[in-house]
Amino acid sequence: MDARPAEGRTTLLTSDITPAVGWLVGMVFAIVDALTTWYALTSLGMHEGNPVGTWAIDHLGLSRALALRIIIGAAVLGVIAWGCVAPVPRHRHMVHRACRGLMIGALVLWGFVALSNTLQIAYVRFT
- Our measurement of the distance from residue 75's CA atom to the centroid of its chain's CA atoms, rounded to an integer in Å, reads 11
Q: Is 62 helix (H, G, I), strand (E, B) or coil?
A: helix
Q: Is 118 helix (H, G, I), strand (E, B) or coil?
A: helix
Tell me the per-residue pLDDT of 96-126, one tens digit each, with 9 for 90 and over.
Answer: 999 999 999 999 999 999 999 999 999 999 9
Q: How far apart are CA 121 and CA 127, in angstroms?
A: 10
Q: Phi first, then psi: what are they for 98, rounded to 5°?
A: -65, -40
In a domain, 95, yes or no: yes
pTM, whole model, 2 decimals?
A: 0.82
Tell me the per-residue pLDDT of 57-89, one tens digit each, with 9 for 90 and over.
Answer: 999 999 999 999 999 999 999 999 999 988 988
Q: Residue 105 in contact with residue 26, Cβ under 8 Å?
A: no
Domains of the chain: total:
1
**What residues make up the domain containing 75?**
20-126
In a domain, 112, yes or no: yes
